Structure 1
Amino acid sequence: MTASNNKRPSHIVWQVVGEGDKARWNRIGAGWPNRDGKGISLKFDALPLDGRVVLREHEQNEEAAQPSSE
Structure 2
Amino acid sequence: MTDTNQNRPSHRLFTVNGDGEQARWTDIGVAWATRDGKGFTLSLNALPLNGRVVMRVNDSKEEKKRRG
**Superposition TM-score tier, normalisation by shorter sequence:** 0.7 to 0.9
What CA distance in whole angstroms lies between the structure 1 residues aligned with 2:3 and 2:15? Answer: 22
Does the C-alpha gap of structure 1 residues 65 and 6 become closer, same or farther in structure 2, counting only changes over 3 Å? Answer: farther
The two structures, once aligned, show a CA RMSD in angstroms of: 2.0
Matches within 5 A, 1:25-36: 25-36=25-36
How many residue pairs match? The answer is 66
Note the residue ranges of structure 1 that are not aligned, 5 or more in a row: none
Matches within 5 A, 1:1-70: 4-66=4-66
What CA distance in whole angstroms lies between the structure 1 residues aligned with 2:53 and 2:59? Answer: 18
Q: TM-score, normalised by structure 1?
A: 0.80
Does the C-alpha gap of structure 1 residues 3 and 66 become closer, same or farther in structure 2, counting only changes over 3 Å? Answer: farther
Identity %: 48
Higher helix proportion: 2
